[in-house]
Structures are given as structure tokens and as C-alpha cells.
Structure 1
């Protein structure tokens, strides 16, 4: 990942929050034929391992050789930045559009799991992670056992043992305070919820 020093997110706790808030990412692997395959998967990152699951009908998992390299790309909020928002536009006009965003790249080795107990543990953990804060959280055990067993037969697990963590927050850190304030104000006028999220992210310092 290309990440200038002022865009790098070096605090691993901050990177883990970025992944948890996104909740899903694109798992990219290269099969025996030399071609890349990518699938968006809900993910759970604990310790040095990311766990997820494929639909069994998805042929991607069949192309994964145990221990082969993989890349998980987890994107956060993103938005177009108009040069008209910069205070410096009125001063010298030497401004151009850009794109603000956050992203995390997790690189490591991939392994497929087709064990029902492993899968049950994963879907339970994923469910608890997303339902835990709800007033009336749903639990895997709320569904009939036979039904859950049938659903588990329709998925295949995958884990990525993380060897490299790269976080990036491109949030106009290279601009002046006045330009950044203009971008925040401009983003807040946009209709896109993602633009408002980027504006909020520009307030704290994500870099750690």
C-alpha cells in the first residue's frame, strides 16, 4: 500500500477499530491458474487471525491452497473533495480535486476450514459481535438446531493468519488548517452519508 507518513495509521488499536467498524472486506487470493479472485466477506479479527466464511457455492474457496498468500482489503468511509472548498483557492488557485478515504490492508497466509464446529464457533462469534449492543440481541441458539445445522452445511470457513498490517487515513493531513476546515464544511453539505462520515473522521487524529 502506498501511504505517505502523514497518512499512515500506525496505532494497531486504531486499525483494529477501523476493521471492526467496517465489518467486512475483500479477500483477494491467487489461484493455481495465476488469476486473482476476490470476495467480499464479513470478517472477525481476533489476535493475529481473521476469520470469515464463503458460501459453499462460491468457487473462490476451492482455488485456495493451504498456506498460500492472501490480502484482505477493508475499506472505510470515502468521499470526493472539491477544490472549491479550499481556502487557498481564493489565494492562488493552485488546487485540484482529490479523494479522501480510509483503508486497511491485512496480508498473510490463508487456510480453508470445512469443520462444522469451527464454523459454528465463527458464526456465533460474528453474530455476538454485531448483535451484542442491540436492545434485544438475536443469538444463534434462537434458531432451531436442525435449521442451523443445515445453514452451516451451506458455508465454508476461511482464516487469514495476519503477517502484515497496513492502515491508511487520507484525510487532507497535508493541507493547511484553513483548507481542512473548508473540506469539513464542504463535506457536511453533501447528500452522501459517507461524506459526512469522512468529515467526522477529519476531526480526530487517526494516525496514532
Structure 2
């Protein structure tokens, strides 16, 4: 008889304790009431608890990745024109590509070399005038010359990144001025979108630099 009373009291004693120690990731499945040998129905005397754990791999993946933002520019045009921000950043990248093409070439064509020799100085080019013909000897390409060109490419890339940062900073300042009338979440998402655009452009700049450096150094 005492054992029957103990089985009745056990769930009453366990349930308050389970409520305190159960974590949000714990799932409990209770058994149904059972009919004992004395033909008296007894409540469930135990609960089966299953605890779910996140794997280290899943935790690392969640920690290393940040959800990307993809905002429809038309929805926030009263805050800032994301299309214009994108155009400004793209213009910086295009300008860098143009600088690489025009100013960083291992061998200069005779026509270009002659034009620059007549227009500029300090190029280590000595044009020779022979009647109506201008001859410009192109110096042999040395390893030192290649390395100097690679350094210039690095400098141009850094300047391009500075320009992208200025575009990002100006855009964020404009967004902050439009805080009134917009939720904090909306402002935060727009700022994150702008940062993503800047990061993407900086990555493209690094790719252009890597390709140009490989071309120059051989």
C-alpha cells in the first residue's frame, strides 16, 4: 500500500523540478496513465526527456556566416538611392581598371611612348627626331621596372579602396539623417546593405590587383 502511495506522489515531486532544470532545447514525452494490479488507474510515474544538442560544426558555421541583406532599392528610396551608391562604387572600380590598362603596361607602344616623351619628362625615354619621323627607343624591361610597376598598382588599389570607403561613409551619413519616420530595423538593414556593397567592391579591387600583379611580375 505504501508503494502505491509513493508511485502517486512521484510525478508530483518530479514535475516542479523538471520545470526548473529543463532547457529550451529539451523535449519531454510522458507515458500514459496505466492500470495497476489493484485495478486502480495510476498516473504516469516517469517522463522520457530528450535533450537536443547543436554540433560543433553547426555552431561554427552559424558563427562564421552572417546573413546577407538584399533590399529592394525602391522600398527605401526615400532614405537613400542604393542604385546611386552602387554606381559610385562601380565607377571607382572602373577607374582603377582604366588606370591599370593605360598606365601600367610592361611594354609601351612606340606611338604612346613618343607622345608621352614629347608631353612629359622623367620617363627615361630619349626621342630621336629624323625629319618627319620621331624615333623613341624603348628601354629593356628589367626586373626592377616590373617591381616598381607592381608597387604603383598596389598604390592605385589602395586609393581605390579609400574612395570606396568615402562613398560608403557618405551613404551611411545620409541614411542616419533619415532616421526620423523610419524604424531602427529598417535603418540598420540599409546600413548593412551599403556595407555589403562596399565589401563586394573591395573584393573586386583585390582581384584586379592580383591579376595585374601577376601580369607585371610574370
Structure 2 length-normalised TM = 0.22
Higher-helix-fraction structure: 2
Structure of greater Rg? 2
Task: Decide which structure has greater strand share.
Answer: 1
TM-score (norm. length: structure 1): 0.23
Which structure's relative contact order is higher, taking Cα pairs within 8 Å and 6+ residues apart? 1
